[in-house]
Chain A
């Protein structure tokens, strides 16, 4: 089955800096890669996703890049703000096969002002 590794486990940045979180996956057939944000005491929520037919996707201050050959994908947050502080999870699945979404262990991002 799929295995998703995520690093770093914790990341501290100053407000305004960029943050990068990286994930690798094991199943070469996986083709859907979402990122979820979980604030303290709350449920995970989707913030951005990418499919294997594109290499990069942007949404305002966040972007995700995908390298299918290396089987890794990354989340980039620019101009970080204190409200970006949360735990971020990457995940992967085989979209058309209807397999389960498998999550990484998470990265705790702290943005200090």
Chain B
């Protein structure tokens, strides 16, 4: 696609529920990142994919968070047993490659705003 697409743009859920957030990166971009941004804070790194595999998942806060990218394109961030503290904007970004020089420019999606009541 022309840009990074994220759905849903807004999600309100109740504490304890399961949530899936989807990211459709720019076509051909092999690197895909998930960040979480709380109000007044910088993007907090969660996980980074190079192709289908997670190159770095050290930012996932706990085992309630999981992400997949089965075909190396669309990615889904999954949050189990949501807590109020999970409320944030979840940003997805993609780039042509995670390793090549000159391929560092991340293009961000508009984000998915998650509110846990």
Residues of A within 8 A of B (CB): 1, 6, 32, 34, 43-46, 49, 89, 93, 95-106, 108
CA distance A48 to B42 in the complex (A): 17
B58 contacts A101, C-beta separation under 8 Å? no
B42 contacts A89, C-beta separation under 8 Å? yes
B42 contacts A6, C-beta separation under 8 Å? yes
Q: A45-B108, A106-B41 are in contact. List 18 more A-B contacts (CB 8 A).
A: A1-B58, A34-B105, A43-B91, A43-B111, A44-B43, A44-B91, A44-B106, A44-B108, A89-B43, A95-B101, A98-B31, A100-B33, A101-B104, A102-B45, A103-B43, A103-B44, A105-B42, A106-B42
A99 contacts B33, C-beta separation under 8 Å? no
Cβ of B56 under 8 Å from chain A: yes
CB A63 to nearest CB in B, in angstroms, measures: 19
CA distance A97 to B101 in the complex (A): 10
- Within 8 Å by CB of B48, from A43, A100, A105, lies A100
CA distance A99 to B33 in the complex (A): 11
A104 contacts B111, C-beta separation under 8 Å? no
A43 contacts B109, C-beta separation under 8 Å? yes
